[in-house]
């Protein structure tokens, strides 16, 4: 009977030791997972920062392109107005020359 008690005590000890080992292993995995989580969060922050920068750069490019288009339109309108003025002045000059030439 004492052997049975010793056997049971040994089994209890083995079970407790096994439980302890499993707990230590779980703790080790928990620490590793916490480190991985932290690294993943920093990678995610970096990814978001890069995406925000890309979006901001795209917006700036669009704004710059719109400004450039506006400048071109202004320039074309300015040339058009200048050409129109030159044609009007030329017309008046031709009319004045015509009046001078054909007046008796």
Task: Dump the DSSP string for 30-89.
Answer: HHHHHHHHHHHHHHHHHHHHHHHHHHHHHHHHHHHHHHHHHHHHHHHHHHHHHHHHHHHH
Supply the DSSP symbol for 1. Answer: -
Confidence of residue 18 (pLDDT cuts 50, 70, 90): very high
Specify the pLDDT at position 23.
Answer: 95
Per the model's pLDDT, the better-predicted residue between 53 and 80 turns out to be 53
- Mean pLDDT over each residue of the chain, to the nearest integer: 88
Provide the CA 54 distance to its chain's centre, in angstroms.
Answer: 3
CA distance 32 to 41: 14
Q: Could you tell me the two tokens for 25?
A: 């292993």
């Amino acid at each position: 009977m004492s052997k049975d008690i010793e056997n049971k005590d040994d089994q209890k000890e083995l079970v407790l030791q096994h439980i302890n080992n499993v707990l230590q292993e779980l703790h080790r995995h928990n620490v590793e997972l916490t480190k991985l989580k932290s690294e993943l969060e920093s990678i995610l922050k970096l990814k978001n920062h890069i995406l925000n920068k890309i979006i901001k750069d795209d917006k700036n490019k669009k704004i710059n392109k719109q400004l450039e288009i506006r400048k071109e339109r202004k320039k074309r309108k300015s040339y058009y107005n200048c050409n129109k003025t030159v044609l009007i002045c030329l017309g008046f000059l031709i009319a004045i020359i015509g009046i001078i030439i054909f007046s008796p």
